[in-house]
Structure 1
Amino acid sequence: MSWYLKVLKDYVNFQGRARRKEYWMYTLISIPIVLILLWLESLIGLNGVLTGLYSLAVFLPGLGVVVRRLHDTDRSGWWVLIALAPFVGPIILLVFMCLEGNPGDNRFGSDPKLFAE
């Protein structure tokens, strides 16, 4: 849960690097939250209101962690736009999120694994 909260606190930070663990822990906590909200919406009959509000609330933090994750693999944050390419774009971005970051310093900052908790 601390990784999820770390991303939320760092919500407008598009500089630096993010470890795979930071990205995936954030993602793995967000998915059950969305599923629970969808379930609550089906019970109450709100038709996407809760998930829409949650998605709006976590849009910037999620974008920030994706950009920092791309930085960890020594790619510009603009690579996030590859997800707009039909079919293959999201797959390419997923592969980038799974790749190990560059060891040591790169043009976006120092290796986040050196300061691991």
Structure 2
Amino acid sequence: MTKAWHYAWQGKSEGPVDEAMMGDLIRAGRVRADTLIWAEGMGDWERADVHFPFAPVRPAAPAYVPPPPAGPPPLGRESAYGPYEGAPPRDFIEAIKVCFRKYATFKGRASRSEFWWFQLFIIGGSLLTGLLENGMGRDGAVLNGLFSLATFLPALSVQVRRLHDTDRSGWWIGGFYLAIIPGVVVLGVLAAMVEGGGGNDMALGAIAIAMGVAVLVYSILMLVFLASRSTPGPNRFG
């Protein structure tokens, strides 16, 4: 005799159904492996998978994760690496504080805002002390000289750190100063020879023009470097 089965559904007892109907309910998903069922002769409700076969549960397929894009991340602060924390943006006051705190620090990196805000501070301070020099005479000249002396090293160091932030060596600056010294010496020697009547003034003029062109090209190149975006993420300088 076929058993009459009862099954739990939403907290209520449903049935009775025969074994064929129970199979239909299992295939339809209404009766699952953990559904409680009961038939006459059973002491208590039991799980359906104790009395009926169930196909093994297949694990859910992993969610599709697209592969990372090929090639380097986009340039700019908002890159695949996120903003680089070693050279954060600065406001005007913060840039001045940081540059004086790193008075002679030629290691690490400096963001564009840190560099250009400090340049604005130097320009403003030079104009102010220049006005004081015109109004105060020698006393003003002392103030202008002290300001230039106080800002020379921090201005040079932040320039080197700005080059580092673009993944360029500070020798772009140091090499220029090393190259300009022998050039000035040669010009001085030629000028002395011309004044003594033993030199060629045309050669002196040609060398002076060549040096002027070289300085102009270097200045334009440095302006491009200093205005360039930061390299995304850490680089060889930090």
TM-score (norm 1): 0.85
Task: Tell me which of 158, 162, 177 is aligned to 1:65.
Answer: 158
Equivalent residue runs for 1:26-105 within 5 Å = 26-46=118-138, 48-80=141-173, 81-82=175-176, 85-105=214-234
Q: Kindly state the Cα deviation for residue 8 of structure 1 after the two structures are TM-superposed.
A: 0.6
Higher helix share: 1
- Structure of greater Rg: 2
CA distance in 1, matches of 2:142, 2:171: 30
Q: Kindly state the Cα deviation for residue 10 of structure 1 after the two structures are TM-superposed.
A: 0.7
Task: Tell me which of 99, 102, 115 is aligned to 1:7.
Answer: 99
CA distance in 1, matches of 2:136, 2:216: 34
Q: Is the 8 A contact 1:12 1:61 kept in 2?
A: yes
Give the number of aligned pairs.
109
Identity level (%): 47
SS of the counterpart of 1:86?
Answer: helix
Q: Kindly state the Cα deviation for residue 6 of structure 1 after the two structures are TM-superposed.
A: 1.0
> Structure 1: which 5+ runs fail to align?
110-117
What does residue 24 of structure 1 align with? Answer: 116
Q: Kindly state the Cα deviation for residue 49 of structure 1 after the two structures are TM-superposed.
A: 2.7
CA distance in 1, matches of 2:98, 2:234: 22
CA distance in 1, matches of 2:104, 2:223: 22
Q: Which structure carries more relative contact order (alpha carbon 8 Å, separation 6+)? A: 1
Higher strand share: 2
CA distance in 1, matches of 2:137, 2:170: 38
Deviations 1:74-98 (A, max 9, x none): 1110111448542111111111110
Name the Cα RMSD after superposition.
1.6
